Chains A and B, each alone.
Chain A
Amino acid sequence: MSRVETLSGWGRWPKRDCVVDDFDPATDTPDRFNHSTITRGAGRSYGDAAMNPDMTFLGPLRNRFISFDPEAGDLVLQAGAKLSEVLEAFVPRGWFLPVTPGTKFATIAGVLAVDAHGKNHHAEGSFGDHVNWFDLMQADGQIKRCSPKDSVHLFNATIGGMGLTGHILTVSIKLRRIETAWIQQKTLPAANLEQAMQLFEDHQDATYSVAWLDCLAKGDARGRSLIYLGEHASVAQLPAEQRSKPFDYPAPKPKSMPIDAPNWALNRFSLKAFNYLYYRKGTKAPPVELVDYDRYFYPLDAIHQWNRLYGKRGFAQYQCALPLASAKEALLEQLDAISKAGLGSFLAVLKRLGPGAPNRPLSFPIEGYTLALDFPLTPQALTLMDLLDEITIAHGGRLYLAKDSRMTQATFEASYGDALTQFRALRRQTGAYDAFQSLQSRRLNL
């Protein structure tokens, strides 16, 4: 039975009352509705991508596992299952996700629909590169098997397609073998952006790499960073007493933000102090340490509802990808703009991206660098983000739809270019345009 709930994305802005219902593929075929619908997974995209006031389907309970082939590592499961469920079942048996975003509480369908990338993008590509096939319910209610061989256009448009091509029902993904639940982490301090980028280029052979960046540092220290490299640890690399149980690790104590932080808690002084202390701590960290996969990949998941840190007003995450040739110039311009605006980001993350997937029209990564920033939702931050958009576009970059809650149609068209025409055409041809819409797709005229 349908009901009304106030929904928002992980950034808690914008909020809208939406008619919601549980999704049952046996009865809820899109052709049954005379208005558009969107499927919502775990609600972990930041903006308005999984919200439709007319009908938002809640899907997380379609989470059954269907089969596993231990030779190939192929796992077939209903797309509402969360990454955490895959990890819980398969890490103890020596398997890991091929690609993972920074939260394990996203659903498989969600990760596929945003074509999520992880700390291994430079080597392994994005999530879509590890999908064998999926079943998609189209606007006419027909279920189509899509793979690199069958219904290729639909396969490519759906990976990164923000749920706008149909309901993703069942997915087959390829897991990767691991020997232990541990990551060998190496921390490398970089005094400025140039050094940080050089370290990324020098360590292209690392399995995982990512940098935390102090976006408030000025002058010669602009873009000072801590680069974290990671390798799956082998059994031999574990301390002797852990070798007999290589998949055991101390369970993280769940913490929670029970209430909203006051809006003034994050200001330029507290941010500056935090960033300074964080960097100093990093430069003193042991250069190599063993970290369990939970702490390495999902540090923020340990604090449930960390999004309340930004107070009631909510926040926006700004994530752009910049092409290799102009990345440095663009990043410096962006850091200057942030500093000039007197705004800082609590978390700024820099990552080297490998080649993108030009055949997937809405897939975000392009070869170069990606920067992700959080801003509390204030008028100044919105103005700053418009300015950052201009820099991104001028350098041939683009924004990540999974994080977006505010870019304009013009920004979007200027950055995704001709691929959009292709995506829009496919939506019209398959009836998806009328059947599947979100607040985001309406804002961007997708």
Chain B
Amino acid sequence: MIPADSPVLILGARSDMARALAHEFAKEGHPLMLAARNADTLSEDMTDLEVRFQAKVTAHDFDILDVDGHAAFLGNLPEVPAVVVSVVGFMGDQDESAINPDAARKVIDTNFTAPCLMLELCAGRLAELKRPTAIIGIGSVAGDRGRAKNYVYGAAKAGFATWLSGMRQKYVDSQLHIMTVKPGFVRTSATADMDLLGPLTDEPEAFAKKVMKALKRKSQVYYDIKWRAVMGVITHLPERIFMKTKF
């Protein structure tokens, strides 16, 4: 068990999902370090956490794509976190990223290269603490099967999940727990332009509560139960059939 007074670092803290996760950690009493670009604009979110749960919150400027700055960022934090949550992600425009190298690189770096390198760095630090620690990486079901609609994003998320899987094996003898979370559809501004399948869509708060439960029972890869069923079918469809579906 990770003690309730140990600090939690949230990377990409501005998103709706990150805010909902921050609420859950704050409710348990964890101090929070919120990391995002233009950290000064996080003040409303900091106040929110303080008023709701009397949480101790700090905000920190952080750009996931500034890979060279990752180590300095970690070193400059007021405390070493016991939990690191990466909610970093960028959907991009599929058609654009499929033909424009810069656009493709941005999607791949934001969802794969940069967060993987950052979490690798964090894993080393956390494992050294020699007490219960955790890393939570928010991936996506889009990484489980390439779909015409979003396969550049999906490919990056697939890489992210594979990297975390490898890291999990690497640190299996440490007290660091690594959890991959694959949200299906969560109603956030990031999914605003997608067709949301009603019953399969969660509100961010409801989803965050499930993630916390999964962390407590030390899940390795967490899907919502409904999505486990859906993806169970989708990932097992033979490619020659899957390619003809409109999913």
Contacts and interface: CB of A to CB of B under 8 A. Distances in A.
| A and B form one complex | yes
Interface in B178-202: 187-189, 192-193, 195-196
Nearest to B46: A64
B16 interface: yes
Interface stretch (B47-55, B144-152, B161-169): B47-55
B194 to A, nearest CB: 8
Nearest to A75: B51
B47 A61 contact: no
A234 to B, nearest CB: 24
A22 B192 contact: yes
Nearest to A64: B48
A26 interface: no
A444 B48 CA distance: 39
Given A61-B16, A64-B45, A89 B52 contact: yes
B105 interface: no
Please classify the interface of chain B as helix (H, G, I), strand (E, B), loop, or mixed, using the class held by over half of its residues. helix
A16 to B, nearest CB: 15
Nearest to B189: A22
Given A60-B203, A61-B204, A89-B53, A66 B47 contact: yes
A299 to B, nearest CB: 19
Nearest to B195: A3
Given A61-B204, A88-B27, A68 B51 contact: yes
Interface residues of A, number: 18
Contacts of A22: 189, 192
A75 B196 CA distance: 34
Contacts of B45: 64
Contact of A65 (B16, B48, B204): B48
Contacts of A21: 192
B57 to A, nearest CB: 13
A87 B203 CA distance: 18
B95 to A, nearest CB: 15
Contacts of B40: none
A429 interface: no
B47 A64 contact: yes
Pick from B16, B187, B192 the residue with the most CB of A within 10 Å: B192
B173 interface: no
A85 B205 contact: yes
B44 interface: yes
A222 B129 CA distance: 70
A27 interface: no
Interface in A61-85: 61, 64-68, 75, 77, 85
Nearest to B226: A258
Contacts of A66: 44, 47-48, 51
Per DSSP, chain A at the interface is: strand
A22 B51 CA distance: 25
Interface string A87-127: 01100000000000000000000000000000000000000
A61 B189 CA distance: 9
Given A3-B193, A22-B189, A64 B44 contact: yes
Contacts of A1: 192-193
Contacts of A89: 27, 51-53
A67 B51 contact: yes
Given A3-B195, A60-B203, A85-B205, A65 B189 contact: no
Contacts of B189: 22, 61
B122 to A, nearest CB: 28
Contacts of B203: 60
Contacts of B205: 85
B46 to A, nearest CB: 10
A80 to B, nearest CB: 11
Contact of B51 (A3, A60, A65): A65
29 contacts: A1-B192, A3-B193, A3-B195, A5-B196, A22-B192, A60-B187, A61-B16, A61-B188, A61-B189, A61-B204, A64-B44, A64-B45, A64-B48, A65-B47, A65-B48, A65-B51, A65-B52, A66-B44, A66-B47, A66-B48, A66-B51, A67-B47, A68-B51, A77-B51, A85-B52, A85-B205, A88-B27, A89-B52, A89-B53
6 closest A-B pairs by CB? A65-B51, A64-B48, A89-B52, A1-B193, A65-B52, A65-B48
Interface of B: 16, 27, 44-45, 47-48, 51-53, 187-189, 192-193, 195-196, 203-205
Interface of A: 1, 3, 5, 21-22, 58, 60-61, 64-68, 75, 77, 85, 88-89
Given A3-B195, A58-B187, A89-B53, 16 more contacts: A1-B192, A3-B192, A60-B187, A61-B188, A61-B204, A64-B45, A64-B47, A65-B52, A66-B44, A66-B47, A66-B48, A66-B51, A67-B47, A68-B51, A75-B51, A77-B51
